Amino acid sequence: MREYRGYIFDMDGVLYRGDTLIPGAVETLERLRRRGRRLVFVSNNSTRARDDYAERISELGLPIAEEEIIPATYATARYLAERHAQERIFVVGALGLVKELLRAGLRLVAEPERAEVLVTGSDPAINYQKLSQATSVLLAGKPWVTTNLDRLHPTEDRVIPGTGAVVGALQYITGRQPDVVVGKPSRLIMEQALEALGVPREECLMVGDIIESDVLAGKNAGIDTALVLTGVAKPEDVERSEVKPDYVLKSIADLEG
Protein backbone atom coordinates (compact mmCIF):
# COMPACT_ATOMS: atom_id res chain seq x y z
CA MET A 1 0.00 0.00 0.00
CA ARG A 2 1.45 3.37 -0.98
CA GLU A 3 1.40 6.33 1.36
CA TYR A 4 -1.57 8.73 1.50
CA ARG A 5 -1.90 12.16 3.09
CA GLY A 6 -5.68 12.03 3.59
CA TYR A 7 -8.08 9.28 4.64
CA ILE A 8 -11.85 9.19 4.26
CA PHE A 9 -13.33 6.55 6.55
CA ASP A 10 -16.76 5.01 6.54
CA MET A 11 -17.85 4.39 10.13
CA ASP A 12 -20.41 1.61 10.67
CA GLY A 13 -18.70 -1.68 9.92
CA VAL A 14 -15.24 -0.06 9.69
CA LEU A 15 -14.67 1.52 13.11
CA TYR A 16 -17.38 -0.31 15.03
CA ARG A 17 -20.42 -2.55 14.78
CA GLY A 18 -23.27 -1.56 17.06
CA ASP A 19 -21.66 -0.65 20.39
CA THR A 20 -18.53 -2.72 19.80
CA LEU A 21 -15.30 -1.20 18.49
CA ILE A 22 -13.46 -3.05 15.74
CA PRO A 23 -10.19 -4.25 17.34
CA GLY A 24 -7.35 -1.91 16.38
CA ALA A 25 -9.58 1.00 15.29
CA VAL A 26 -8.43 3.43 17.99
CA GLU A 27 -4.77 2.51 17.59
CA THR A 28 -4.93 2.89 13.80
CA LEU A 29 -6.47 6.36 13.96
CA GLU A 30 -3.95 7.49 16.56
CA ARG A 31 -1.06 6.15 14.46
CA LEU A 32 -2.24 8.00 11.36
CA ARG A 33 -2.59 11.25 13.29
CA ARG A 34 0.92 10.91 14.74
CA ARG A 35 2.22 10.62 11.20
CA GLY A 36 0.48 13.83 10.19
CA ARG A 37 -2.29 12.27 8.11
CA ARG A 38 -5.58 14.15 7.74
CA LEU A 39 -8.77 12.22 8.54
CA VAL A 40 -12.46 12.68 7.86
CA PHE A 41 -15.33 10.31 8.62
CA VAL A 42 -18.28 9.82 6.28
CA SER A 43 -21.37 7.75 7.01
CA ASN A 44 -24.49 6.91 5.04
CA ASN A 45 -26.38 6.30 8.28
CA SER A 46 -29.29 8.73 7.98
CA THR A 47 -30.76 8.27 11.46
CA ARG A 48 -28.24 10.41 13.38
CA ALA A 49 -27.42 14.12 13.35
CA ARG A 50 -23.80 15.24 13.46
CA ASP A 51 -23.81 15.98 17.20
CA ASP A 52 -25.48 12.61 17.87
CA TYR A 53 -22.58 10.95 16.10
CA ALA A 54 -20.05 12.99 18.08
CA GLU A 55 -21.66 11.95 21.37
CA ARG A 56 -21.79 8.30 20.36
CA ILE A 57 -18.19 8.30 19.20
CA SER A 58 -17.07 9.93 22.44
CA GLU A 59 -18.81 7.18 24.40
CA LEU A 60 -17.02 4.54 22.31
CA GLY A 61 -13.67 6.19 22.97
CA LEU A 62 -12.77 7.04 19.38
CA PRO A 63 -10.45 10.05 18.90
CA ILE A 64 -12.70 11.95 16.46
CA ALA A 65 -13.91 15.57 16.59
CA GLU A 66 -17.43 16.58 15.54
CA GLU A 67 -16.00 18.76 12.75
CA GLU A 68 -14.42 15.67 11.18
CA ILE A 69 -17.75 13.83 10.86
CA ILE A 70 -19.92 14.06 7.73
CA PRO A 71 -23.02 11.88 8.11
CA ALA A 72 -25.54 11.69 5.28
CA THR A 73 -27.98 13.74 7.35
CA TYR A 74 -25.58 16.68 7.56
CA ALA A 75 -24.49 16.36 3.93
CA THR A 76 -28.11 16.29 2.75
CA ALA A 77 -28.96 19.39 4.80
CA ARG A 78 -26.00 21.22 3.26
CA TYR A 79 -27.06 20.22 -0.24
CA LEU A 80 -30.65 21.35 0.31
CA ALA A 81 -29.61 24.63 1.92
CA GLU A 82 -27.59 25.43 -1.19
CA ARG A 83 -30.23 24.47 -3.76
CA HIS A 84 -33.69 24.40 -2.14
CA ALA A 85 -33.36 26.92 0.69
CA GLN A 86 -36.74 28.61 0.10
CA GLU A 87 -38.79 25.54 -0.81
CA ARG A 88 -41.15 23.55 1.42
CA ILE A 89 -39.82 20.07 2.23
CA PHE A 90 -41.71 16.91 3.18
CA VAL A 91 -39.50 14.39 5.00
CA VAL A 92 -39.74 10.64 5.36
CA GLY A 93 -36.90 9.83 7.73
CA ALA A 94 -35.65 9.57 11.29
CA LEU A 95 -35.23 12.32 13.89
CA GLY A 96 -31.54 12.80 13.10
CA LEU A 97 -32.35 13.84 9.53
CA VAL A 98 -35.11 16.19 10.66
CA LYS A 99 -32.74 17.81 13.19
CA GLU A 100 -30.10 18.54 10.55
CA LEU A 101 -32.65 19.99 8.11
CA LEU A 102 -34.03 22.31 10.77
CA ARG A 103 -30.55 23.40 11.86
CA ALA A 104 -29.86 24.34 8.24
CA GLY A 105 -32.86 26.67 8.34
CA LEU A 106 -34.95 24.63 5.91
CA ARG A 107 -38.75 24.81 5.75
CA LEU A 108 -40.33 21.48 6.69
CA VAL A 109 -44.04 20.78 6.23
CA ALA A 110 -46.25 18.03 7.61
CA GLU A 111 -48.80 18.22 4.78
CA PRO A 112 -47.63 16.47 1.57
CA GLU A 113 -49.91 18.63 -0.59
CA ARG A 114 -47.86 21.70 0.43
CA ALA A 115 -44.50 20.10 -0.33
CA GLU A 116 -42.20 21.32 -3.08
CA VAL A 117 -39.47 18.74 -2.41
CA LEU A 118 -39.47 15.19 -1.00
CA VAL A 119 -36.53 14.09 1.16
CA THR A 120 -36.12 10.46 2.18
CA GLY A 121 -33.83 8.66 4.61
CA SER A 122 -33.80 5.54 6.72
CA ASP A 123 -36.97 5.43 8.81
CA PRO A 124 -37.41 2.72 11.49
CA ALA A 125 -41.02 3.92 11.87
CA ILE A 126 -41.93 3.65 8.18
CA ASN A 127 -45.58 2.73 7.63
CA TYR A 128 -48.31 2.74 4.99
CA GLN A 129 -49.37 6.31 5.78
CA LYS A 130 -45.86 7.71 5.28
CA LEU A 131 -45.47 5.83 2.01
CA SER A 132 -48.85 7.13 0.85
CA GLN A 133 -47.89 10.71 1.70
CA ALA A 134 -44.54 10.45 -0.04
CA THR A 135 -46.23 8.87 -3.05
CA SER A 136 -48.54 11.86 -3.42
CA VAL A 137 -45.54 14.22 -3.47
CA LEU A 138 -43.79 12.19 -6.15
CA LEU A 139 -46.89 11.75 -8.31
CA ALA A 140 -47.26 15.53 -8.23
CA GLY A 141 -43.88 15.69 -9.97
CA LYS A 142 -41.89 17.26 -7.14
CA PRO A 143 -38.09 16.77 -6.88
CA TRP A 144 -36.92 13.78 -4.86
CA VAL A 145 -33.70 13.97 -2.81
CA THR A 146 -32.56 10.96 -0.80
CA THR A 147 -29.76 10.60 1.72
CA ASN A 148 -28.52 7.32 0.22
CA LEU A 149 -29.52 4.04 -1.41
CA ASP A 150 -28.00 1.53 1.03
CA ARG A 151 -29.87 -1.76 1.08
CA LEU A 152 -28.32 -2.93 4.35
CA HIS A 153 -26.94 -1.41 7.55
CA PRO A 154 -24.58 -3.38 9.87
CA THR A 155 -25.36 -3.58 13.59
CA GLU A 156 -23.55 -5.42 16.36
CA ASP A 157 -25.23 -8.78 15.80
CA ARG A 158 -26.91 -8.57 12.38
CA VAL A 159 -27.53 -6.44 9.32
CA ILE A 160 -30.82 -4.56 9.00
CA PRO A 161 -32.62 -2.79 6.12
CA GLY A 162 -31.22 0.63 5.22
CA THR A 163 -32.64 3.64 3.38
CA GLY A 164 -33.03 1.40 0.34
CA ALA A 165 -36.11 -0.11 1.98
CA VAL A 166 -37.86 3.26 1.74
CA VAL A 167 -36.46 4.22 -1.65
CA GLY A 168 -37.16 0.81 -3.17
CA ALA A 169 -40.78 0.87 -2.08
CA LEU A 170 -41.35 4.34 -3.54
CA GLN A 171 -39.57 3.44 -6.77
CA TYR A 172 -41.84 0.43 -7.23
CA ILE A 173 -44.98 2.36 -6.35
CA THR A 174 -44.33 5.44 -8.49
CA GLY A 175 -41.98 4.23 -11.20
CA ARG A 176 -39.65 7.12 -10.34
CA GLN A 177 -35.98 7.19 -9.38
CA PRO A 178 -34.59 9.74 -6.88
CA ASP A 179 -33.48 12.89 -8.65
CA VAL A 180 -30.53 13.33 -6.29
CA VAL A 181 -28.62 10.90 -4.07
CA VAL A 182 -26.40 12.77 -1.60
CA GLY A 183 -24.69 9.93 0.24
CA LYS A 184 -22.26 7.36 -1.08
CA PRO A 185 -21.71 6.40 -3.86
CA SER A 186 -22.61 9.93 -4.95
CA ARG A 187 -19.83 12.44 -5.50
CA LEU A 188 -21.80 15.02 -3.52
CA ILE A 189 -20.87 13.73 -0.07
CA MET A 190 -17.38 12.85 -1.25
CA GLU A 191 -16.75 16.40 -2.45
CA GLN A 192 -17.80 17.65 0.99
CA ALA A 193 -15.32 15.19 2.53
CA LEU A 194 -12.50 16.32 0.23
CA GLU A 195 -13.28 19.95 1.06
CA ALA A 196 -13.01 19.14 4.77
CA LEU A 197 -9.73 17.26 4.25
CA GLY A 198 -8.03 19.92 2.18
CA VAL A 199 -5.91 17.24 0.46
CA PRO A 200 -5.76 16.56 -3.31
CA ARG A 201 -7.89 13.55 -4.23
CA GLU A 202 -4.93 11.67 -5.74
CA GLU A 203 -3.36 11.68 -2.26
CA CYS A 204 -6.47 10.31 -0.49
CA LEU A 205 -7.72 6.83 0.36
CA MET A 206 -11.36 5.86 0.92
CA VAL A 207 -11.81 3.06 3.50
CA GLY A 208 -15.18 1.29 3.70
CA ASP A 209 -16.99 -2.01 4.12
CA ILE A 210 -19.57 -1.92 1.28
CA ILE A 211 -18.55 -2.27 -2.35
CA GLU A 212 -21.60 -0.66 -3.95
CA SER A 213 -21.45 2.43 -1.72
CA ASP A 214 -17.99 2.96 -0.21
CA VAL A 215 -15.77 1.54 -2.93
CA LEU A 216 -17.91 2.90 -5.74
CA ALA A 217 -17.96 6.32 -4.04
CA GLY A 218 -14.19 6.38 -4.09
CA LYS A 219 -14.10 5.35 -7.73
CA ASN A 220 -16.67 8.00 -8.67
CA ALA A 221 -14.61 10.67 -6.91
CA GLY A 222 -11.28 9.56 -8.37
CA ILE A 223 -9.96 8.28 -5.02
CA ASP A 224 -8.11 5.03 -4.26
CA THR A 225 -10.12 2.59 -2.14
CA ALA A 226 -9.62 -0.02 0.57
CA LEU A 227 -12.34 -2.52 1.49
CA VAL A 228 -12.41 -3.99 5.01
CA LEU A 229 -14.19 -7.26 5.75
CA THR A 230 -15.57 -6.34 9.19
CA GLY A 231 -18.92 -5.04 7.94
CA VAL A 232 -21.23 -5.99 5.08
CA ALA A 233 -18.83 -7.18 2.34
CA LYS A 234 -17.44 -10.71 2.24
CA PRO A 235 -14.52 -12.08 0.16
CA GLU A 236 -16.89 -13.68 -2.31
CA ASP A 237 -18.54 -10.30 -2.90
CA VAL A 238 -15.21 -8.93 -4.13
CA GLU A 239 -14.85 -11.82 -6.56
CA ARG A 240 -18.36 -11.31 -7.98
CA SER A 241 -18.29 -7.52 -8.19
CA GLU A 242 -17.30 -5.57 -11.30
CA VAL A 243 -16.20 -2.75 -8.96
CA LYS A 244 -12.83 -3.69 -7.52
CA PRO A 245 -11.19 -1.99 -4.52
CA ASP A 246 -7.50 -1.16 -4.76
CA TYR A 247 -6.91 -3.00 -1.49
CA VAL A 248 -8.81 -5.65 0.50
CA LEU A 249 -8.06 -5.77 4.25
CA LYS A 250 -9.30 -8.04 7.02
CA SER A 251 -9.92 -4.96 9.18
CA ILE A 252 -8.85 -1.36 9.80
CA ALA A 253 -6.07 -2.76 11.97
CA ASP A 254 -4.30 -3.90 8.77
CA LEU A 255 -4.27 -0.39 7.32
CA GLU A 256 -0.81 0.98 6.65
CA GLY A 257 0.04 4.65 6.47
* Residues acting as catalytic residues: 10, 12
Nearest-CA neighbor of 227 among 29, 90, 38, 236? 236
Helices (H) and strands (E) in the chain, counts: 9, 15
Inter-residue contact 15 to 9 (CB < 8 Å): yes
Inter-residue contact 32 to 207 (CB < 8 Å): no
Element (H, E) at 72: helix 72-83
Element (H, E) at 103: helix 95-103
Q: Residue 209 contacts by C-beta under 8 Å, 6 or more apart in sequence?
A: 10, 12, 13, 14, 154, 227, 228, 229, 230, 231, 232, 233
CB atoms within 10 A of CB 51: 15
